[in-house]
Amino acid sequence: MEASVSGQHVRIQGESTLTPVNDQQVKTQDELTLMIDMRGIHKTYLMGDEPVHALDGIDFAVAKGEFVSVIGASGSGKSTLMNIIGLLDVPDEGAYYLAGRDAASLSDSDAARIRNRTIGFVFQDFNLLPTMNAFENVRLPLLYRGIKPKEAGERAREALTRVGLGNRSGHLPAQLSGGQQQRVAIARALAGKPEVLLADEPTGALDSKTSEEIMQLLEASNSAGQTIVFITHNPELALRASRSVSISDGHIQERTAS
């Protein structure tokens, strides 16, 4: 990560400098080794008149370059956790620091900027545009970020080659297998050069052989220095990460290989 603290600015990915309101919003240089630092996070929803504690005072930290899996059943709180990490939702209580920046201090525009430039998302459903080919799907978010077309195209080609689809760049999603579509989705995330890759059930709709290919791709990305948070319901895949935690009834605990 190219984050630095000068008492005035935090540099995110070398492309955006954000100015905090005061120095208390930015953590110390030593603490910047944590990419994700969540403390006492609460999130409650109402189901009718009944409160549901999706996250009940959790502490969760991920170091730069770490590969952490989060396993849990449906309704355990893992998607809520992912949404808060990805700045798509905010906690009711607790502190969350992303790359040393206090998420509670962010304006909506700053949160959107950091989300677009610092976080890459990969979902189970791929979310590819059906009328655009693989190259165009990967390039489009870069153009929306204001990256010049030439650079955006180079990044898109590089990312597709990295995931083994350099020769499929002109194919529409319907012309690709499920595993190939997921690789395009991963290439789209990696092309943005995010500090954190959030993968929400990326193998959930794939067979075991294709799931293995996706896991190898995530492992290779992590070996290259990518920080990854990987949500899954598969206990065997979860233990492929360097560290695994389980979430149940809004609480987190560390897992170990049996």
Would you give the distance in Å from CA 210 to the centre of its chain? Answer: 21
Helix, strand, or coil here: 37?
strand
What's the longest Cα–Cα distance across the chain? Answer: 54
pTM: 0.80
**Residues whose CB is less than 8 angstroms from the CB of residue 37 and which lie 6 or more positions away in sequence, other chains included:** 27, 31, 61, 95, 96, 97, 98
In this predicted model, which residue has the larger pLDDT, 75 or 136? 136
pLDDT 10s digits, 137-190: 999 999 999 999 999 999 999 999 999 999 999 999 999 999 999 999 999 999
pLDDT 10s digits, 105-144: 999 999 999 998 899 999 888 999 999 999 999 999 999 9
pLDDT 10s digits, 215-249: 999 999 999 999 999 999 899 999 999 999 999 98
pLDDT of the residue at 106:
93
H or E segment to which residue 248 belongs? strand 243-248
Calculate the dihedral angle through the C-alpha atoms of 219, 64, 9, 114, rounding to the nearest 10 degrees: 40
The CATH fold assigned to 10-255 is Rossmann fold (3.40.50)
Confidence label for 196 from pLDDT (cuts 50, 70 and 90): very high
Question: What's the whole-number average pLDDT of the chain?
Answer: 86
In this predicted model, which residue has the larger pLDDT, 17 or 181? 181
H or E segment to which residue 36 belongs? strand 34-47
Query: Mean pLDDT over residues 20-29, rounded?
Result: 43
